[in-house]
Amino acid sequence: MRKQFVVIGLGRFGGSVTKTLCSLGYEVMGIDKDERKVQEYAAVLTQVYQADSTDENVMKELGVRNMDHAIVAIGEDLQSSILTTLILKDLGIKHVTAKATNDYHQRVLEGLGADHIVHPERDTGVRVAHQVTSKNMIEYLELSPEHSLVEVIAPSSFGGKTLKTLDFRAKYGCSVMAIRRKDNEVVVSPHADELIFEGDMLVMIGRNTDISRFERTFED
């Protein structure tokens, strides 16, 4: 069964995360206090609610505790962001990703047990969506509407195999542009007989559809 996500706060950042998760085929619940935002996403999500995420009883009634991963994308309301994160951790959500507006906000969220902190000024919603759906994804850079460059940690199943054996182009439709070893050695334009070791960082380029297919193969 695939992961289920809840995105709390459907503004520009949260909306981008939501749409990307949906495009990747994940089930997403959306929550926002603004009725207009809820109406906007009613056509995108099967579960979208106008609700106060700082009310623990409401969150329980919505079944938020059944979600695998929560993303707190609340905007400038630091109090709501902090209380929501606290409630999510109290409800036992396994993974909580929270948006921080500054370093102080980040420290508070980390103190509450948020598993991952993002900063919207540098972390796009698309990038965050890909990171939270893949345990191997480190970086995601859109090159065009159809193509992206990604950094992924080589799965254990790749260990000791050559690029030729793994046959990225045929299996995944992606090309490996570089390999960064654990000792930070970088192999640029690796040849077909180059060995991959577990923990290597692979810099790959490909169509977004093919990259998503690769992610789904090794999703957490």
Is the CB of residue 72 less than 8 Å from the CB of residue 104? no
- What distance in Å separates the CA atoms of residue 168 and residue 155, rounded to the nearest whole number? 13
- What distance in Å separates the CA atoms of residue 68 and residue 78, rounded to the nearest whole number? 24
Domain 137-217 CATH (choose: 3.40.30.10, 3.40.50.970, 3.30.70.1450, 3.40.50.300): 3.30.70.1450
Q: How does pLDDT run across 177-196, given as a tens digit for each residue?
A: 889 888 888 888 889 999 99
Strand runs labelled E in the chain: 4-8, 27-32, 47-50, 69-72, 95-99, 116-118, 137-142, 147-153, 161-162, 174-180, 186-188, 195-196, 201-207
161, β-bridge pairs: 196
pLDDT of residue 136 exceeding 80, the answer is: no
- What distance in Å separates the CA atoms of residue 61 and residue 102, rounded to the nearest whole number? 32
* CATH number 3.40.50.720 given to 4-133: yes
pLDDT of residue 212 exceeding 60, the answer is: yes
Q: How does pLDDT run across 138-179, given as a tens digit for each residue?
A: 667 777 778 888 888 888 888 899 999 998 888 888 888 889
Is the CB of residue 5 less than 8 Å from the CB of residue 219? no
Instruction: Read off the pLDDT of each residue in 25-45 and give the average, rounded to a whole number.
Output: 93
Full-model pTM: 0.67
Is the CB of residue 220 less than 8 Å from the CB of residue 135? yes
- What distance in Å separates the CA atoms of residue 63 and residue 43, rounded to the nearest whole number? 21
Provide the residue ranges of all domains of the chain, joining segments of one domain with +: 4-133, 137-217
Let me know if the fold of 4-133 is the same as that of 137-217: no
